[in-house]
């Protein structure tokens, strides 16, 4: 677990991110008490519960967040729960939701049990030595737009648009064939996707399967730039957009329509309009949806000009109309 951190005087909101693969056939029993506890502690965010475990990001007053974490660890299935902390001067979420799902990260392969089938953890300190082995097949399990921003030297990009497409790619590459034994190392942003990916490989009979413990974020936090095999920046699913070594905020911007990082040259493209579209999503939304997005952008600018008491992050976090057309709704 990343130990509790101390906030600067102007940072009032603690964010805790965590996941745990654990057999949880009775996951629904935790929904109501967890929702009630979070609301009582003024904690907001999203918790996903599924038969394979828990996945969440929550934020609020430090005491409230730590109370929720302590309650979770007092429940036998979550005793081993680890979390990562960060601080903000704005509330990252406006509501609290606890949802029951089929999977805490969607792959669409029934019968997987990552809690017992996942590959071997490799620490950030030992990762370089593993991936320097010429016999190791290194696979980036993230989506194509994430890989665009950066990856490990020598990693294979599956070119997928969603995690659910990874099994078919692995099958096409012959990586699910135990008759062709090979060492496979996988990685993702924080660990959850590569943990499930290695479980798929091991379920198919592959024995030498590894994944980066704590994901890319732990590697960038731990490994010095001069020793690093990471090139570029790492996309993150928050207002920072990307991070570099030392987990410092990176240089990339986000398209507020498709929620993906702006591709190279986007700001000079005729298809880029602030808050409305970028070259990735321009052809995926109608003019009516673009007009709706323009109105949302005008609201943002008015609030900014008037220093509205409503946080600007509220507008950024809302799903605008064109999001629905792209499957984010």
Does 27 participate in catalysis according to the annotation? no
What is the dihedral sign for C-alpha 27, 76, 199, 111? negative
CB 194 within 8 A of CB 140: no
Q: How far is CA 236 from CA 9, 24, 58, 64, 189, in A?
A: 25, 28, 16, 25, 7
Q: How far is CA 311 from CA 233, 235, 302, 306, in A?
A: 27, 23, 12, 12
- Per-residue three-class SS string for 226-292: HHCCEEECEECCCCCCEECHHHCECCCCECCCCCCECCCCHHHCCCCECCCECCCCHHHCCHHHHHH
List 27, 188, 255, 281, catalytic entry: 188
d(CA 46, CA 35): 10
d(CA 152, CA 131): 9
Structure tokens at 63: 């005491």
Interior/surface letters 244-282, b for 16+ CB within 10 angstroms, e for the rest: bbebeebebebbbbbbbbbbeebeeeeebbebbbbbbbb
134: which residues sit within 8 A by CB, 6+ positions away?
none
β-strands 136-140, 183-187 pairing: parallel
CB 131 within 8 A of CB 230: no
Q: How far is CA 48 from CA 52, 103, 115, 243, in A?
A: 10, 8, 16, 25
Question: Which residues have a catalytic role annotated?
Answer: 188
């Amino acid at each position: 677990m990343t130990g509790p951190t101390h906030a600067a005087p102007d940072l009032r909101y603690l964010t805790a991110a965590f996941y745990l693969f654990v057999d949880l056939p009775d996951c629904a029993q935790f929904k109501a008490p967890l929702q009630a506890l979070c609301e009582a502690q003024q904690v907001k965010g999203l918790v996903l519960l599924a038969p394979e475990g828990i996945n969440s990001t929550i934020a609020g007053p430090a005491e409230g967040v730590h109370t929720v974490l302590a309650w979770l660890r007092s429940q036998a299935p979550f005793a081993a729960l680890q979390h990562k902390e960060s601080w903000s001067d704005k509330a990252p979420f406006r509501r609290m939701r606890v949802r029951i799902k089929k999977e805490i990260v969607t792959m669409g392969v029934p019968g997987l049990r990552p809690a017992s089938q996942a590959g071997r953890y490799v620490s950030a300190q030992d990762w370089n030595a593993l991936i320097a082995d010429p016999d190791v097949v290194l696979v980036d399990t993230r989506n194509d737009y994430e890989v665009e921003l950066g990856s490990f030297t020598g990693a294979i990009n599956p070119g997928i648009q969603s995690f659910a497409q990874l099994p078919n790619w692995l099958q096409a590459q012959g990586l699910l064939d135990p008759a062709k034994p090979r060492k496979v190392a996988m990685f993702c942003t924080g660990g959850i996707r590569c943990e499930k990916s290695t479980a798929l490989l091991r379920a198919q009979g592959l024995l030498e399967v590894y994944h980066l413990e704590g994901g890319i974020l732990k590697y960038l936090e731990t490994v010095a730039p001069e020793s690093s095999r990471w090139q570029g920046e790492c996309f993150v699913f928050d207002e920072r957009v990307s991070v570099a070594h030392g987990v410092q905020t990176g240089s990339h911007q986000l398209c507020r329509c498709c929620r993906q990082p702006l591709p190279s040259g986007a700001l000079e493209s005729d298809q880029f309009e602030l808050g409305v579209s970028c070259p990735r999503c321009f052809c995926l939304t109608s003019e009516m949806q673009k007009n709706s997005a323009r109105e949302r952008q005008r609201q943002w600018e008015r609030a900014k000009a008037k220093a509205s008491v409503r946080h600007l992050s509220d507008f950024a976090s809302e799903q605008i109309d064109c999001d629905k057309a792209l499957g984010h709704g």
